[in-house]
Every structure is written in C-alpha cells, then in structure tokens.
C-alpha cells in the first residue's frame, strides 16, 4: 500500500468566484492557484490547509463531469483525493481486487498531478481520486 495521505478534497460549485470568497473567509487564506483542466471541463482553484488542500471545481461547459454532478446533486463534496507513491501500481492493485477504475491509465490533472478516478459504485458512492506528483522529465 503506497497511500500517503489525503491530498485534497474536491468541492463542486456553481460560481467559483463566489465560492473563492467564501473559502477565503472560512480558511483565512486566499486560493494559491486557479487552473483550467480542459480534459475534465473544469475551472479549479486550490487552497492550502496545512498539509492538505481544498479544490473548488466549476464546470466550463454543459458536458463537464461537474455539470453532470450538479444536475443530480447539490453543491458540495465531489471527491476525495489520496496521494500515492506509484499511481499505476495502485490502479493495478485495485483492478486486481475487482474494482472498476474510471481511468485505467493515469491522466493529467490539476496542480501538477497525474490522476485516476475509482468508480463510486464500488466505494460507497464516494468518488475516490488517486493522485501522484507529476514525474519530472529528464532530471
């Protein structure tokens, strides 16, 4: 088991500007980064909370997973992300155990990470993200 920690909690929001202000008030610190992830159709902002982060997610178009989530759910917790040492090893381990991965190969995520999601049908309705710091090339 190469699971290291809860890296971040993802929160689906409708209006990221308004939510940035709310979380700025609640956490007493502003977002350190805002980033669009084209492949996921999301605009994100990140807040540091000690060794962990809060990721706010707003859909950038109607087919975005966040738009779909907000059709069925209210704004709120969308996923929990665990940092792992070797993401492909973890994906393989879970597939071996019979779990369904939304991504069987890691893909680029926000905040310099490669990521993969576990299907929530296999994890009590909780969308689980595995993430790993993007390996640096040629160093």
Q: Which residues bind Co ion (CB under 5 A)?
A: 10, 55, 81, 129
Q: Please give the Cα distance from 1 to 139 (Å, whole number).
A: 27
Q: Please give the Cα distance from 50 to 69 (Å, whole number).
A: 28
How near is the Cβ of 80 to Co ion at its closest, in Å? Answer: 9
How near is the Cβ of 70 to Co ion at its closest, in Å? Answer: 16
Q: Could you tell me which residues come within 8 angstroms of residue 135 by beta carbon, excluding any fewer than 6 positions away?
A: 114
Pick 46 or 99: Cβ nearer Co ion: 46
Pick 44 or 94: Cβ nearer Co ion: 44
How near is the Cβ of 43 to Co ion at its closest, in Å? Answer: 13
Pick 55 or 90: Cβ nearer Co ion: 55
Q: Please give the Cα distance from 84 to 131 (Å, whole number).
A: 6
Pairing of strands 52-59, 3-12: parallel
Which residue, judged by CB position, is nearest to Co ion in the bound state? 10
């Amino acid at each position: 088991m190469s699971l290291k920690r809860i890296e971040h909690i993802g929160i689906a929001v409708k209006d990221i500007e308004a939510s940035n202000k709310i979380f700025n008030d609640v956490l007493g610190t502003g977002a350190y980064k805002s980033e669009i992830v084209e492949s996921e159709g999301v605009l994100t902002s990140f807040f540091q909370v000690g060794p962990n982060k809060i990721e706010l997610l707003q859909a950038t178009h109607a087919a975005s997973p966040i738009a779909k989530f907000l059709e069925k759910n209210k704004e709120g917790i969308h996923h929990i992300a665990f940092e792992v040492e070797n993401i492909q090893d973890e994906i393989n381990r879970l597939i071996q155990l019979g779990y369904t991965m939304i991504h069987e190969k890691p893909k680029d995520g926000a905040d310099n990470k490669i990521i993969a999601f576990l299907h929530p049908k296999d994890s009590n309705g909780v969308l689980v993200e595995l993430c790993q710091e993007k390996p640096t090339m040629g160093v």
